[in-house]
A and B are shown apart, each in its own frame.
Chain A
Amino acid sequence: MSKCKEDIYFARDPEITWEDVEVLSKHTLNGAKVLLDVMAEEGVEIVFGYPGGALLAVYDALLDSPIKHVLPRHEQTAVHAADAYARVSGKVGVCMATSGPGAANMVTGIANAYMDSVPLVIITGQVPTHLLGTDSFQEVDITGMTLPITKHSYLVKNAKDIPRIVKEAFYIAGTGRPGPVLIDLPKNVMAEEVHDPRPPKIALKSYKYFSKGNAGQIEEAAKALAQSKKPVVYAGGGVITSGAEQVLQELIEKANIPVVTTLMGIGSVPAKHPNYLGMVGMHGTITANLAVNDCDLLIAVGVRFDDRVTSGLKHKFATKAKIIHIDIDPAEIGKVVKAHIPIVGDARLVLEDLLQKVTPLEISPWWEQLRAWAKQYPLSYEQDGRLNPQTILKAMGEIGGENAIVCTDVGQHQMWAAQFYPVTGGRKFITSAGLGTMGFGFPAAIGAQFAKPDSLVFLVTGDGSFQMSIQELATTVQYELPIKIILMNNGVLGMVKQLQKMFCNERFSQIQLHANPDFVKVAEAYGVKGLRIESPEQVDVVLKEAIETPGPVLVDCHISPDEIVLPTLPPGKTITDILEGRE
Chain B
Amino acid sequence: MLHTLAVLVENNPGVLARISGLFARRAYNIYSLTVCQTENPSLSLMTIVVEGDSQVIEQVTKQLHKQVVVHKVSNLTNEAVVDRELALIRVKVRAETRLEVLQTVDVFRGRVVDMGRSNLTIELTGDEDKINAFIRTMRPYGIQELVRTGKIAIARSDN
Give the contact-size bracket for chain A.
10 to 19
- Whole-angstrom distance between the alpha carbons of A151 and B62 in the complex? 14
Chain B binder among A204-212, A220-228, A296-304, A380-388? A204-212
Chain A binder among B17-25, B94-102, B108-116, B131-139? B17-25
Chain A binder among B28-36, B67-75, B119-127? B67-75
Chain B residues with Cβ below 8 Å from A335 are 59
Check A204–B68 contact: CB distance below 8 A. yes
> Nearest A residue to B58 by beta-carbon distance?
A334
CB of B63 within 8 Å of the partner chain: yes
Check A148–B71 contact: CB distance below 8 A. no
Check B62–A330 contact: CB distance below 8 A. yes
Q: Known interface pairs A147-B17, A334-B58. Does A152 touch B68 (Cβ–Cβ under 8 Å)?
A: yes
Chain A residues with Cβ below 8 Å from B58 are 334
Check B59–A331 contact: CB distance below 8 A. yes
Chain B residues with Cβ below 8 Å from A147 are 17-18, 21
- Whole-angstrom distance between the alpha carbons of A331 and B65 in the complex? 9
Q: Known interface pairs A147-B18, A148-B21, A152-B68. Does A206 touch B59 (Cβ–Cβ under 8 Å)?
A: no
Chain A residues with Cβ below 8 Å from B17 are 144, 147
The listed residue (A144, A148, A206, A331) touching B69 by CB distance below 8 A is A206
Which A residues from 321 to 347 make CB contacts under 8 A with B?
329-331, 334-335
Check A143–B14 contact: CB distance below 8 A. yes
Chain A residues with Cβ below 8 Å from B63 are 331
Min CB distance A180 to B, Å, is: 13
Min CB distance B152 to A, Å, is: 22
Which A residues from 317 to 371 make CB contacts under 8 A with B?
329-331, 334-335
Which B residues from 42 to 58 make CB contacts under 8 A with A?
55, 58
Chain B residues with Cβ below 8 Å from A207 are 68
Min CB distance B50 to A, Å, is: 16
- Whole-angstrom distance between the alpha carbons of A335 and B71 in the complex? 22
Chain B residues with Cβ below 8 Å from A205 are 71
Chain A residues with Cβ below 8 Å from B128 are none
CB of B156 within 8 Å of the partner chain: no
Chain A residues with Cβ below 8 Å from B55 are 334
CB of B10 within 8 Å of the partner chain: yes
The listed residue (B18, B21, B66) touching A329 by CB distance below 8 A is B66
Q: Known interface pairs A152-B68, A330-B62, A334-B55. Does A206 touch B10 (Cβ–Cβ under 8 Å)?
A: yes
Min CB distance A407 to B, Å, is: 29
CB of A172 within 8 Å of the partner chain: yes
Chain B residues with Cβ below 8 Å from A172 are 68
> Nearest B residue to A206 by beta-carbon distance?
B71
CB of A374 within 8 Å of the partner chain: no
Check B68–A148 contact: CB distance below 8 A. no
The listed residue (B14, B18, B68) touching A206 by CB distance below 8 A is B68
Check A155–B68 contact: CB distance below 8 A. no
- Whole-angstrom distance between the alpha carbons of A470 and B59 in the complex? 41
Min CB distance B60 to A, Å, is: 10
Q: Known interface pairs A147-B21, A331-B63. Does A155 touch B69 (Cβ–Cβ under 8 Å)?
A: no
Chain A residues with Cβ below 8 Å from B69 are 206
Chain A residues with Cβ below 8 Å from B13 are 155
Chain A residues with Cβ below 8 Å from B62 are 330-331
> Nearest A residue to B13 by beta-carbon distance?
A155
Min CB distance A132 to B, Å, is: 11
- Whole-angstrom distance between the alpha carbons of A231 and B137 in the complex? 63
- Whole-angstrom distance between the alpha carbons of A162 and B62 in the complex? 29
> Nearest B residue to A333 by beta-carbon distance?
B62
- Whole-angstrom distance between the alpha carbons of A151 and B58 in the complex? 20
Check A206–B70 contact: CB distance below 8 A. yes
Question: Would you mind naming 18 contact pairs between A and B with Cβ atoms under 8 Å apart?
Answer: A144-B17, A147-B17, A147-B21, A148-B22, A148-B25, A204-B68, A205-B71, A206-B69, A206-B70, A206-B71, A207-B68, A331-B59, A331-B62, A331-B63, A331-B65, A331-B66, A334-B58, A335-B59
Task: Spell out A's residues near B (CB within 8 Å).
Answer: 143-144, 147-148, 151-152, 155, 172, 204-207, 329-331, 334-335
Q: Apart from A155-B13, A331-B59, A334-B55, what are 11 other A-B pairs with CB-CB below 8 Å?
A: A144-B14, A147-B18, A148-B25, A151-B68, A152-B68, A205-B71, A206-B10, A206-B70, A206-B71, A207-B68, A331-B65
